[in-house]
């Protein structure tokens, strides 16, 4: 499948709820989570398989701080689309009652100002960042998540060997 790349300029991410400054380089991002032949997010891959797939697209998985910078931007938006509360047209979250991943790009109203789609909801996204105990950070929330999980600073973790229909991935490459 072809990937549409969007350049996200670098800057200083005020990472996490405490706003710790982290320098972020400019990166090209896949405009959506990687989709399978059905047009739905490619899911069911563990983190190692997702990282290998990202390499096949000429990139890698993003670090958690890079993901947050892409999602929140320099103005630290609450959600990828801005500070307005969630509504069904913005993201596929639990309250949408779809109860499964939908097609990528189906919520254009929820895009970031730079045009990245499905940053919140639909599927969690694997990152390259790990936690103590061997898990990896996942970002963005999924079709089964409440709106709180779609906030740009919210992070979760999953065992790296987990294969879930609720976890996909996005690819970054150096600018």
Residue 148: count of CB within 10 angstroms of its CB: 10
Alpha carbons 4 and 32: distance in angstroms, whole number: 8
Q: How crowded is the C-beta side of 136, counted as CA atoms within 13 Å?
A: 24
E strands along the chain, which residues?
A: 5-8, 11-15, 20-24, 27-30, 124-130, 135-139, 155-159, 167-168, 172-174
pLDDT at 45: 98
pLDDT at 76: 96
Sign of the C-alpha dihedral computed for residues 133, 24, 44 and 99 taken in this order: positive
pLDDT at 66: 98
- Would you say 151 and 40 are in contact if contact means Cβ atoms under 8 Å apart? no
pLDDT at 1: 64
CATH number of the domain that residue 160 is part of: 3.90.1580.10
pLDDT at 2: 80
pLDDT at 105: 96
Q: Domain tally for the chain?
A: 1
Residue-range definition of the domain harbouring residue 41 = 5-174
pLDDT tens per residue across all 175 residues of the chain: 689 999 999 999 999 989 999 999 999 999 999 999 899 999 999 999 999 999 999 999 999 999 999 999 999 999 999 999 999 999 999 999 999 999 999 999 999 999 999 999 999 999 999 999 989 999 999 999 999 999 999 999 999 999 999 999 999 999 9
Alpha carbons 51 and 113: distance in angstroms, whole number: 27
Closest CA to 130 of 69, 55, 72, 64: 64
Residue 146: count of CB within 10 angstroms of its CB: 11
- What pTM was computed for the model? 0.97
Kindly state the greatest CA–CA separation across the chain: 40
pLDDT at 67: 98
């Amino acid at each position: 499948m072809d990937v549409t790349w969007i350049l996200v300029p670098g800057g200083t991410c005020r990472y996490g709820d405490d706003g710790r400054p982290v320098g972020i380089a400019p990166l090209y991002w896949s405009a959506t989570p990687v989709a399978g032949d059905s047009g739905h997010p490619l899911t069911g891959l563990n983190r190692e398989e997702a990282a290998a797939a990202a390499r096949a697209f000429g990139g890698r998985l993003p670090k958690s701080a890079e993901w947050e910078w892409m999602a929140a931007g320099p103005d630290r938006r609450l959600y990828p689309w801005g500070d307005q509360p969630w509504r069904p047209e913005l993201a596929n979250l639990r309250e949408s009652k779809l109860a499964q991943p939908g097609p990528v790009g189906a919520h254009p109203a929820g895009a970031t100002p730079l045009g990245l789609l499905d940053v919140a909801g639909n599927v969690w996204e694997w990152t390259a960042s790990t936690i103590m105990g061997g898990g990896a950070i996942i970002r963005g929330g999924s079709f089964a998540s409440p709106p709180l999980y779609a906030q740009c600073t919210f992070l979760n973790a999953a065992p790296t060997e987990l294969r879930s229909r609720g976890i996909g991935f996005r690819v970054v490459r150096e600018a």
